Amino acid sequence: MTKSILQIENTNASDFKKEILEDVKGVFQNFADTLQSGDSEKLLTREETADLLSISLVTLWDWTKKDLIPSYRIGTKIRYKKSEVLSSLQKSNNLNSSTKKQ
């Protein structure tokens, strides 16, 4: 194991601390953004989507045909973006709750 010496000049302890904290926050924010975007853009199979929503494949097919959930055809396969499935579910819940209030 080798030791390195770092010499810092023309700064005080509070400025140095502030700079380190800002950089660490930036690294963590980038890491969090990477995790969130990677998961939400994941393409799901029909089975994974049905499991996520706790519905049958027949219901998923029906919702897809009614354009309640956007789907993508890749060759002969159907895929769903996780973020779009969750936002469609949220929109559907908001629609249902607003019609019940009227």
CA-CA distance, 59 to 77, in Å (whole number)? 17
| pTM (two decimals) | 0.55
Rounded Cα distance between 60 and 27, Å, is 39
Q: How far apart are CA 49 and CA 70, in angstroms?
A: 12
Question: Where does the pLDDT of residue 97 fall: very low under 50, low under 70, confident under 90, or very high at 90 and above?
Answer: low
**Residue 36: pLDDT band by 50, 70, 90 thresholds?**
low
**Alpha carbons 14 and 31: distance in angstroms, whole number:** 26
Q: Does domain 43-96 have CATH number 2.60.40?
A: no
Sorted by where each begins, the domain ranges of the chain are 43-96
pLDDT digits (tens, 9 = 90+) for 11-27: 888 988 898 899 888 88
